[in-house]
Structures are given as C-alpha cells and as structure tokens.
Amino acid sequence: MAAADSFRIAPLSEVMAAEIVGLDVSRPLDGETFAAVNKAFLDHQVLCFRGQNLSPDGQIAFSRLFGQVIVHDNSRYALADHQEVLVLSNDVDENGEHIGVVDAGDIWHSDLQFKPRPAKCTILYALRNPSRGGATDFTNQYLAYERLPEAMRMRISGLRGVNSISKLKNSRAPISGERKGAREFYIRQERENPDVEHPLAQVHPETGRTSLYCSPRFTYRLAGLTDEEGDALLDELVRHSGKREFRYRHEWRDGDLLMWDNRCVNHRATGGYAYPDIRLIHRTTVLDRR
C-alpha cells in the first residue's frame, strides 16, 4: 500500500496539531510511511495517534525512528527493564510511594531547554487518564515569532536566552510549597547542569522556519543585557509566547500516543485531578542533533 493511502491526517485545531488516523505504530513503518509521518510532524508540530496498543519496546522502537532516545539511567521513575521509558503518574505502590513523576511541567517550557543539546521531540503514551483534568497545553512558537511586531523581531535577532534547570534563580518559576528539600534538589541539579544559552529566534533545522525559543520555566535572563533591560524584555516575550491565540489543548484519551516538536512548541501540564483518580503515561524523549 502506498504511504499516502496508509493513513489520513485530520487537523485538531486551527493553530497546530493533527491526528494521524488509521496507523498502528506498534507495527514497523516502511520508509515511505515514515517519511509521510515525519512530514506531517513537521507540518503540524504535534501529532496524535489514537487507540494505540504499545509495549515499552514498541514505544522505544517508534521513538528511535526520530533520533537518539534518552536513557533515564538514574531516575527512580524510569521503568526498571526499559530505562528509556519514564513514568509520569500520580499513582502509588503498596508502600504508598509514587510510581512516577507527579508534577511534570506545570509551567510553560520546552523539554531539556536547559541542556546544550535539548529535546527534539517528546513522545507520551497515555495508558490511563483521570476522569477529569490532566490535559496538556501547547503553544505554536512559529506563530508566536511571526506575530511579534517587526521591531521586536529585529530587537531579538542575535539575542540569546540563558537557561537553567534551577528554579532558585528564576523568579518566573516559583517552587511549589509542597516540595520538600527543593533547595538542596535544585542546588544539586544546577551543579550538574551549568547554564546554557540558546538563540531567542531559533531556526528549525528541518523546516528552516524561525520560532521564538524561550520559556518562563527555564529561560531566566538574557545574555549581554543589564538585568533591568533583560528582565523587561524577557517578561514581554514570555507573556507573548503563552497567548491563547497560539494554543492547542490536548484532552487525553486512553491509548493516545502524542508527540510534539520541542524546537517550535512550548507546553505545560494543566493538572486538575487528584488521587485516587489516576493518570498514567509512559514518556520517551528524543534528542536534538545539535
């Protein structure tokens, strides 16, 4: 069967995201089909494959089609026999211990933006969703860039954001009051992840389109500007990047496999559910090539 006939693309909103209808990603994709999926990914930034039935091996194999998959080797929330798969969940085991990352990303961000080599795409497979809440919000940062006033695009051309995993020095990313030992945690994380600079106007290596690349979670100042000037400018960019007109909200269904392009999309978890209403997601992350 020709790739063009093997699935249908159904846009999920005006601003981005599309559903790939009729493709079982647990089966190997031939080269032509993969090329068509990859084109859809670049065209729509967020792809959803509904009703999938995927083992951890199947999710890893699918993820590898897009590049190098991260191994979460010292995370207590990686699957023991598949360290590439990180568990996101509010569920607890028989000892009352969390089985996954509970609060992944409730402030707008792009994954691994604090690394020299950030994430290309993140792939989430939803095994179980709460009866309400748990949606994930996305913003199209190509659009955010394109809709900046011309003068602002000129102003940020050549400017770089400074990104850090640490919330300790970032007033835009408050530490949750419930988090015990947060100070020590971030001091350790900061030591292992020195600040990195990335261009604010980032050219996508595959599409050539420019997007706005900053987020309130990880970008905490602008290189080469005074704090006063940089803070005001970054506040404005961060506010602009999160505008409703750039947003798509994904309401999860069990069996959804969702992937997004971190090079041109910001996202955040929206919460709104509580134990014993359970959310269980398997995450894989593919690294950018840079």
Per partner kind, with CB cut-offs from 5 to 8 A, the member of Mn ion, ligand OGA, none near residue 242 is: none
Q: What is the DSSP string of the chain?
A: --HHHH-EEEE-SSSS-EEEET--TTSPPPHHHHHHHHHHHHHHSEEEE-S----HHHHHHHHHTTSPBPP-TT-TTEETTEEEEEEEE--B-TTS-BSSBSS---S-B-TTTTSSS-EEEEEEEEEE--SS---EEEEEHHHHHHTS-HHHHHHHTT-EEEE-S-STT-TTSPPPTT-TTHHHHHHHHHHHS--EEEESEEE-TTT--EEE---TTTEEEETTS-HHHHHHHHHHHHHHHT-GGGEEEE---TT-EEEEETTTEEEEE-----TTS--EEEEEEEE---
| Closer Cβ to ligand OGA, 160 or 267, answer by number | 267
Closest CB 21 distance from ligand OGA, rounded Å: 23
Which stretches of the chain bind Mn ion, using CB under 5 A?
105, 111
Per partner kind, with CB cut-offs from 5 to 8 A, the member of Mn ion, ligand OGA, none near residue 198 is: none
Per partner kind, with CB cut-offs from 5 to 8 A, the member of ligand OGA, Mn ion, none near residue 136 is: ligand OGA
| Closer Cβ to ligand OGA, 137 or 146, answer by number | 137
Closest CB 112 distance from Mn ion, rounded Å: 9
Per partner kind, with CB cut-offs from 5 to 8 A, the member of Mn ion, ligand OGA, none near residue 238 is: none
Environment class of 52 (CB within 10 Å of its CB; exposed 0-12, middle 13-18, buried 19+): buried
Closest CB 25 distance from ligand OGA, rounded Å: 18
Closest CB 118 distance from ligand OGA, rounded Å: 12
Per partner kind, with CB cut-offs from 5 to 8 A, the member of Mn ion, ligand OGA, none near residue 88 is: ligand OGA
| Closer Cβ to ligand OGA, 222 or 288, answer by number | 288
| Closer Cβ to ligand OGA, 72 or 221, answer by number | 72
* Residue 72 to residue 176: CA distance in whole angstroms: 24
| Closer Cβ to Mn ion, 159 or 217, answer by number | 217
| Residue nearest ligand OGA, CB atom distance | 105
Closest CB 267 distance from Mn ion, rounded Å: 6
| Closer Cβ to ligand OGA, 156 or 278, answer by number | 278
| Closer Cβ to ligand OGA, 77 or 185, answer by number | 77
Which stretches of the chain bind ligand OGA, using CB under 6 A?
88, 104-105, 111, 122, 124, 136, 267, 269, 281, 283
